[in-house]
Amino acid sequence: MPPVKNPLGLNGLQLKTLTLLQFVSKVEPGLIDDATGEMMLDRLPHAHGDHFHVGNHVVSGRDASGLLNRGVWLALERKGLIRALEFPHALALTKMGQGYETGVGGSILHNHDH
């Protein structure tokens, strides 16, 4: 039987936000807690204009609105994917959050150099 896509039932904004957090963790990895495997992220991207940059990728500000949405953070935390440290500046991306397959990366992360 194939694995269930989105087994936690995340909504679209939650999926996009988790995708961005996973990508940030790969481009600008934070400290990893050896005991839990959580990755601390405290340098979340900020928009300029209607988009922002993560590495050599561009993301629409519309696709990133969950980074500043307390409800999205609470939902991701309730489902065990993040642990909020200081909304909206710092969080811990859990092991489960690091590995959760969102399936939306290709639609929101656009390769761009400038």
Give the model confidence (pLDDT) of 49-82 as tens digits.
788 888 888 889 898 899 999 999 999 999 999 9
Measured CA distances, 40 to 7, 19, 106, 113 (Å): 24, 16, 24, 27
pLDDT at 48 over 80: no
For residue 112, how far is the Cα from the chain centroid? 19
Identify whether 68 is part of a domain: yes
Identify whether 102 is part of a domain: yes
- Cis status of the peptide bond prior to 88, with omega within 30 of 0: yes
Q: pTM here?
A: 0.91
Q: What total number of domains does the chain contain?
A: 1
Range of the domain at 105: 12-41+49-111
3-state secondary structure of 86: strand
Identify whether 3 is part of a domain: no
Q: Are 8 and 97 in contact (CB under 8 A)?
A: no
Identify whether 53 is part of a domain: yes
Identify whether 7 is part of a domain: no
Mean pLDDT of 79-86: 97
The torsion region of residue 90 among left (phi > 0), alpha (psi -120 to 50) and beta comes to beta
When comparing pLDDT for 55 and 101, which is higher? 101
pLDDT score of 2: 60
pLDDT at 114 over 60: no
pLDDT score of 46: 78
pLDDT score of 84: 96
Under the banding of pLDDT at 50, 70 and 90, the label for residue 110 is: confident
